[in-house]
Structure 1
Amino acid sequence: MYQLFDYQQKLVDGARNALAEGHQGVLIVSPPGSGKSVVIAEIARLTTEKGGEVLFFVHRKELVNQIKDSFIKQGVNLNNCTIMTVGKVANRLNYLPKPNLIIVDESQHSRTKTYLKIFNYYSDVPRLGFTGSPWRLSGKGFKDIYSAMIEGPKVKWLIKNHKLAPFTMYGYRLGDDSKLKRGSGGDYTSKSLDDFGKTIIRGDIIKSWQKFANGRKTIVYCHSVQFAKEVAKAFREANISAYEADSKTPANERDRIMNDFREGKIKVLCNCDLISEGFNVPDCSCVVLLRPTESLVVYLQQSMRCMRYQPDKDAIIIDQVGNFTRFGLPNADRDWTLEDRAKHPQREGGSDGPAIKTCPECFGVILASCHECPLCGHSFEAEFRKLAQDRRAELEKINLNAKELRERKKKEQKLLLRDPSTFTSLKEFAIYGKATGHKPGWAWHRAKAKGLVK
């Protein structure tokens, strides 16, 4: 059996107390890699131990197999458990035994029709949802599904207390951001991602990996299967053992690739949306992000995949598509809520922590307040002096008459209707950033990434 850590036991107790208080739905939030499956297994054990029936479902088969293993290790009575993918449960509602408790993993998907169908069918059955990030691109909340939320520790606490590995992030953009277009769902369209991918020089991906993470067991996240295959090929051409695996890879071959990666026979594993949820390889110490996204959920799941704890392990995150500029560092404190949010992924899903910047010398992602890069020693004094001069220049322009103010307001309103990728000056980014609630450094970083700031 697992020996639960104190913070995991608090989640178990908090969930059970919330149900005892009469909440029909309780959402448990704990960061990726914090051991939610252990908490799920313990709650299932306590329920089945008293003869209760548990219904567990999740959206992917691989996650079903993993939770079965966790249940077995925790001594859960599987005779009192139904463990399936959400699709199978939805198609068997008339035949399944009625549960005393429903448990759902990766509950950020709870708003989809299949999940709601199950919840409505078992409307009188209490449910527990588990997620690392209760956040959806639509901005829609979860308060109609879960009436209480129990939060686990923050990422910073987990790192400090040796439950997640510390990390260093290196960030810059290899592709042309102007190619990216948002679809109706909020994230970038497949076509625009393909267009973006064509602007990335494959050799630059390999060079950066060799510079920052040479020899590390690495997962590379790509936007498409074809792109993942191309990246894997580029690694192999550089005499680095790399393979691609996806949902359409034959099961036997995919299992072999995964096992070879776990055993270290494969150094780099490239994939498209296959290894974001539940995949556990503790000695993987590097991830490479090659998929731009507007989804905070995707960003956290992928960037933190290398942060599973092992003694003396330091993780490396190489963000080559600038996702960190939208969401901050993985260890930024975030205020989760069950309420609806405004549909502004860059703003309401972003970091609640301090502003960040990229060192132009080593590409390390560091605090914006740093006058010297803690990774390579690069001095930012010249940049700070220029920023001070720019601010003084702005102060000199405040004596505008009423007509000038009206004209400026009209220009700002027109600017807000444009896509930031079309901006051609730091000033446009600054006006847009101030109007939309971004932090002061956001405009400088975006302009720098487009080559507008030297």
Structure 2
Amino acid sequence: MDIRPYQAKLIEKTKQSLLNGHRHVLVQSPAGSGKTITMAEIAKSATDKGNRVLFVVHRQEIIQQVTRTFDNWGVNMSLCDIGMIQTVTRRIAKMKTPQLILCDEAHHSLATSYKRVFRHFDNATLVGFTATPVRLSGKGLGDVYDDLIIGPQIDWLINNHFLAPFDYYAPTLIDVEKLKRTSTGDYSNKSMDDAVKIRAVFGDVLKTYRTVADGTKTIVYAHNVQASIDIAKAFNCAGYHAQQVDGKTPAEKRKEAMVNFRSGKTQILVNAELYGEGVDVPDCQTVIMLRPTDSLTLFIQQSMRGMRYRPNKRAIIIDHVANVYRFGLPDTDREWSLKDRPKQEKHRGKSDGPAIKSCPKCYGIVPAQVKQCPLCGYSFRADGTDLEVDPTAKLKKVDKKVFKIVADYSKTKYGQMKAEDAESPEDMYAIAKARGYKPGWAYHQIVARGWLKERKRA
């Protein structure tokens, strides 16, 4: 492999920044843009001059991947130490002093363990890499880094065949009103359990997959371990070969799962607490998000996991948890900074992305100005009554008198109906009742079809 032009430009800018007197430089480059290769070239240049390099990561899987890449790139591994931040912190007193520290996924740099390493080797040059230089707390990374180098935009990488183009579908299957943030900023485990009723949405998850992504290699992001187990079981029962892993899965089994996925033995890899950052799976085509998040970093890492470039590849992103309504599309242009962010921007980064809307037929997310959905051909109404609403907004209280309550809805015709079978708001509420969904789900579907506005005009 050769260094790509934009990677060479990032390296040149980094060197110039160091020559200008900056000692801690942060490099922003999108997910899938080849940060490991860029770091390998920097490491090779350092070891070629006899300088020692320390590379810190936060997951075991990334160590193996980075070691292999660095070795193949020609880095003098006798002068390069690669380790998890926890291990480096424990052994710091016995380690040889590096002249250069490379920090992967550098948005973690404000953590105590990272700062301890940086302080211990305070004479070393530090170069960090991240796709998203932003923290959930809104705290800027300027406490650690004194210069920020900005990489290419995602849409440029797609247009120049360095990332795969994508189709984005967002059929929301959760009760967003249930989501509650913790003191750290992201949603609490309990609120995600309340919002994401996994067993109630199996049918819709499978149906969407069959409709827009059937047969593709897929990574599913679940919101907790039990959900990931249940989802994998549902896919296996439906005839697909799915495998489940999570943060507590033994290392050897996790390695086996990835080998099976890369070889094609496993078609669908369902995970919780894994594969959010740094793991390179170029032939993954589809991502299914069943983990709501208010973290821009997590959203970018998960949504773009299937966008590694392959000729003629088109990535598919299926977002069942309304993440796109919080952050926009993955290729939305964003402004990055080392400064602290205002409260209203702390989760997202400043963005002036184009307006989007959701197709009421296929739930594809498309530019607001299009008159026909490029994914399914649906023609949007000129008056806008069929436009999707933002399901993260506060849902109005549902009038439960709208439909007649039946003792056991699962035994009625509504128990066998899907959302697309509904012919009226009353039907939609009845389907929600029969399938165990919250009334808010029915309300969301009704507004998406324009029925609520039509009834009001009437």
**Normalised TM-score (structure 2):** 0.84
Report the alpha carbon displacement of residue 449 of structure 1 after superposing the two structures with TM: 3.8
Matched residues in 2 for 1:252 and 1:86: separation?
21
Q: Which runs of 5+ in 1 are unaligned?
A: 388-418, 426-445
Native 8 Å contact 2:177 2:395 kept in 1? yes
Residue aligning to 2:177: 178
Report the alpha carbon displacement of residue 225 of structure 1 after superposing the two structures with TM: 1.0
Matched residues in 2 for 1:150 and 1:341: separation?
18
Native 8 Å contact 1:326 1:346 kept in 2? no
Matched residues in 1 for 2:260 and 2:197: separation?
30
Residue aligning to 2:63: 64
Matched residues in 2 for 1:219 and 1:386: separation?
31
Residue aligning to 1:232: 232
Report the alpha carbon displacement of residue 351 of structure 1 after superposing the two structures with TM: 4.1
Q: Where in structure 2 are the equivalents of 1:128-277 lying within 5 Å?
A: 128-198=127-197, 200-277=200-277
Report the alpha carbon displacement of residue 146 of structure 1 after superposing the two structures with TM: 0.9
Aligned amino acid, residue 203 of structure 2:
G
What per-residue deviation string (whole Å, max 9, x for no partner) do you get for residues 248-282 of structure 1? 22222222221111011111000012111122221
Residue aligning to 1:344: 344
Please give the root-mean-square deviation of Cα atoms over the aligned residues, in Å: 2.0
Q: Secondary structure at the match of 1:308?
A: coil
Matched residues in 1 for 2:12 and 2:443: separation?
48
Q: Secondary structure at the match of 2:16?
A: helix
Aligned amino acid, residue 220 of structure 2:
V
Q: Secondary structure at the match of 2:141?
A: coil
Report the alpha carbon displacement of residue 386 of structure 1 after superposing the two structures with TM: 9.1
Aligned amino acid, residue 237 of structure 1:
C
Residue aligning to 2:73: 74
Structure 1 residue 97 corresponds to structure 2 residue 96: yes
Matched residues in 1 for 2:74 and 2:269: separation?
33
Change (3 A) 1:226 1:291: same
Report the alpha carbon displacement of residue 348 of structure 1 after superposing the two structures with TM: 4.2
Report the alpha carbon displacement of residue 315 of structure 1 after superposing the two structures with TM: 0.8
Native 8 Å contact 1:326 1:350 kept in 2? no
Native 8 Å contact 2:140 2:338 kept in 1? yes
Matched residues in 2 for 1:146 and 1:294: separation?
24
Residue aligning to 1:9: 8
Report the alpha carbon displacement of residue 380 of structure 1 after superposing the two structures with TM: 2.0
Native 8 Å contact 1:197 1:227 kept in 2? no
What per-residue deviation string (whole Å, max 9, x for no partner) do you get for residues 276-302 of structure 1? 112222111100010000000000000
What per-residue deviation string (whole Å, max 9, x for no partner) do you get for residues 84-117 of structure 1? 1111111222211111111100001011111111
Matched residues in 1 for 2:176 and 2:346: separation?
15
Report the alpha carbon displacement of residue 246 of structure 1 after superposing the two structures with TM: 1.5
Native 8 Å contact 1:219 1:286 kept in 2? yes
Residue aligning to 1:375: 375
Report the alpha carbon displacement of residue 352 of structure 1 after superposing the two structures with TM: 2.2
Aligned amino acid, residue 153 of structure 1:
P
Residue aligning to 1:123: 122
Matched residues in 1 for 2:15 and 2:203: separation?
52
Matched residues in 1 for 2:149 and 2:220: separation?
32
Matched residues in 2 for 1:314 and 1:302: separation?
16
Aligned residue pairs total 402
> What percent identity do the matched residue pairs reach?
46
Q: Secondary structure at the match of 1:305?
A: coil
Report the alpha carbon displacement of residue 15 of structure 1 after superposing the two structures with TM: 1.0
Native 8 Å contact 1:141 1:339 kept in 2? yes
Q: Secondary structure at the match of 1:93?
A: helix
What per-residue deviation string (whole Å, max 9, x for no partner) do you get for residues 316-364 of structure 1? 1011111000111111111111111023358743642101111001111
Report the alpha carbon displacement of residue 40 of structure 1 after superposing the two structures with TM: 0.4
**Normalised TM-score (structure 1):** 0.85
Matched residues in 2 for 1:175 and 1:21: separation?
50
Report the alpha carbon displacement of residue 243 of structure 1 after superposing the two structures with TM: 1.0
Change (3 A) 1:158 1:448: farther
Native 8 Å contact 1:329 1:351 kept in 2? no
Native 8 Å contact 2:44 2:76 kept in 1? yes
Matched residues in 2 for 1:346 and 1:451: separation?
32
Q: Where in structure 2 are the equivalents of 1:27-46 lying within 5 Å?
A: 27-46=26-45
